[in-house]
Amino acid sequence: MEKRALGSTGLSIAPIVFGGNVFGWTIDEKTSFEVLDAFVDHGFNAIDTADVYSAWVPGNTGGESETIIGNWLKARPGMRNRVAIFTKVGSVGGGPHPGALSEEWIVKAVEGSLSRLGIEAIDLYFSHWPDPATPYEETLAAYGKLLRAGKVKAIGASNLNAAQLADALKVAKDRGLPHYQVLQPEYNLYDRASYDGVLRELCMAEGLGVVTYFSLASGFLSGKYRSAADLGQSQRGDRVAKYLTPRGEAILKALDHVGAGHGAKPAEVALAWLIARKGVTAPIASATRAAHVASFAKAASLRLATEDIAALDQASA
């Protein structure tokens, strides 16, 4: 499968990253193992998680996703050399938290992640949310220590806007500190405003890798949610209601139309649009069954024509 350079990290990844937020939430460990096996068997090689996944599930405390990935790696000798592991720090209760990117917090959190994952080094470590209570200099200096200690190999940031990313990059340059090499923004055919424009242009100008989250708009772009009556189909249905708009309907119609010309499902077309998008290295996508991973492979091999992309852009404008 085609591999892409992920910014300046030195990592070469397939054009879809697996989203590990489902582990310990919508699927149990056994099914998680089956899905991960299928993912690697199809030629993919990057898995994204966070230290707080899946803390929102009653009875969980956070770190369940990392633990499942760690157990899978332990049960599959040699697999560690075949996959890149991304995880995050700086989220408490699922969102921003003052001081969660302080050196004290990061140094403690990385040990927990390494232990749960059962690995010696994290391939890509993300700042999960901006932390206005902690200066960029402190956060980046803490990452510098982790990089020198070999506990992380590259660093990135999630949920930064253009001004925040520019400031962080400037501090890194001015102070001789490690700089963010990858951005993880929310981005898909429906949710475009926060990344398109200045932020996307900055990432391209600075050579950052970009892996997008909510790449299928919480499942809306799969096409299985066409009305309010469909929202009960999954545990994520309550997150989809906001997409049931005339614009959302237009996007689904465009996905249907383009998909019909390629024999592809709406989700495959939506992912292919992201893969083809300049300024995107790879979308993050999740699956709850091993059979779903075949759809990722179809999306990765799908080549959209210029008119296909134009139709999708027009519908999502």
Q: Which residues are catalytic?
A: 53
Q: Which residue has the tokens 């310990």?
A: 24
Distance spanning both ends of the chain, measured CA to CA = 31
The secondary element (H helix, E strand) that includes residue 115 is: helix 103-117
Separation between Cα atoms, residue 29 and residue 249, nearest integer Å: 35
Q: Using CB atoms within 10 Å of the CB of residue 255, give its burial: 0 to 12 exposed, 13 to 18 middle, 19+ buried.
A: buried
Q: Residue 277: exposed, middle, or buried by beta-carbon count in 10 A (0-12, 13-18, 19+)?
A: buried
Quick one: tokens of 292? Answer: 């779903």
d(CA 304, CA 288): 26
